[in-house]
Amino acid sequence: MTTAPTDTTTTPFVAASSTLALVHYLSRQGVLDSRRVEQLTGLDMPALEDPDRRVPAEVHYRLWDFAERVTGDPAVGLNAGQIIDPERMGLVGHVFFNCDTLGEAVTQYVRLHRLINESVILSFEQIAEQAILTWQPDSPEHYCRQDMDRTLAAAMCRTRHFIYPDIKADWAEIAHPRPDYADKYETLLKGPVTFGAASTRLAFNSRHLSHPIPHRNPYVYSAVLRQVNGLLARLQTRRSFSRKIRRLISRQMSTDKIDADTLARQCHMSRQTLYRRLKKEGLSFHELVEQVRKDKALRYVASDHYALGEIAFLLGFSELSAFSRAFKRWTGVAPAQYRAQHLTREADQ
């Protein structure tokens, strides 16, 4: 089976092992239609077994919609994510669970996440006694409720199975609206959950980072890590330019007016070349500036380290009112309200 060629410089991909795991789940449920799956993915079933195979994210997400329809289960992501099958775990999973500690596994999870799903940005931070993982899609159309459910369930259930059975979430924020099966989240995560957040976040006590991984195998770790590092190096060559521009924007945001001509000169190229190279990675300059501004705004407002007027200045806004309008456009709430919600939640922990 063949499909039209995909532009690999602009299309985000997911690891075929994730797609294959969903196929196996449908098989376990007795609802697998192999022919329909092949039509949806454009791949013969054996092709999904290739450990280096990658599937366009939009194709993977279409398969999740199909899975919900054929199972009749809106919580299919949460239920599929609770399946523990070491024999069907992807290469990156074998890296995680052969690390020395949970903290090292989290570090590798963040570093290698683009091998799992290029359409979602994963970040990690420690605030006081909490360790927080944040999943943020690179664009709204790349948010998939079922896949995010599976991600949360798999992260928690695999950590309990391989590392520490009593771990629980201090709290979780879910980016999609509250579903009919909302009670399942607190049962699974064993912590309070809020819905309709700006991004999906999972917090747990940072003391868990020191937990050793009981059955790690250093030989498996070394061998698999070499392989995934090679995959990561090939992937990085495709999307390195936008990351460089993102770093330049972030550094200059609070000190200079961000404009394409200035950044183009720093990169020793014309503005037109800058635009053209970003376009090859599926981005525009103004979209990139907006992304950096939004990411910084969410972190600054939630952390309570700066007054709102200072944040407006740090992000290059001429006045607080302009920042407030932009923040409400990004999140649906004013920055003061967003901060109050976070402070209230932290006080309740």
Give the bridge partners for 124, in sequence order. 133
Q: What is the pTM of this model?
A: 0.68
Please determine, for residue 9, whether its predicted confidence score (pLDDT) is greater than 60: no
> What are the angstrom distances between the C-alpha of 94 and each of 81, 171, 185, 290, 333?
16, 27, 26, 36, 41
Per-residue pLDDT, 170: 97
Please determine, for residue 282, whether its predicted confidence score (pLDDT) is greater than 80: no
Per-residue pLDDT, 234: 72
Mean pLDDT, rounded, for 255-264: 80
Percent of residues, the chain, with pLDDT higher than 90 = 45
Kindly report the average pLDDT of the chain as a whole number. 87
Per-residue pLDDT, 2: 35
Cα–Cα distance, 157 to 150 (Å, whole number): 10
Please determine, for residue 5, whether its predicted confidence score (pLDDT) is greater than 60: no
Per-residue pLDDT, 26: 96
List, for residues 104-139, the tens digit of each pLDDT value: 999 999 999 988 998 899 999 988 899 999 999 987
Cα–Cα distance, 283 to 277 (Å, whole number): 9
CA terminus-to-terminus distance, the chain: 53
Q: Average the pLDDT over each of 14-18, 66-70, 166-170, 187-191 and give the range with the smallest value.
A: 14-18
Please determine, for residue 7, whether its predicted confidence score (pLDDT) is greater than 50: no
List, for residues 37-87, the tens digit of each pLDDT value: 998 888 888 888 887 788 889 899 999 999 999 999 999 999 999 998 877
List, for residues 185-230, the tens digit of each pLDDT value: 999 999 999 999 989 999 999 999 999 999 889 888 899 888 888 8
Q: Average the pLDDT over each of 113-127, 162-176, 328-342 and give the range with the smallest value.
A: 328-342
* C-beta of residue 61 within 8 angstroms of C-beta of residue 147: yes
Phi/psi at 316 (5° precision): 85, 15
What does the angle CA 131 – CA 136 – CA 138 come to, to the nearest 5 degrees? 150
Please determine, for residue 1, whether its predicted confidence score (pLDDT) is greater than 70: no
Please determine, for residue 345, whether its predicted confidence score (pLDDT) is greater than 80: no
Phi/psi at 204 (5° precision): -145, 165
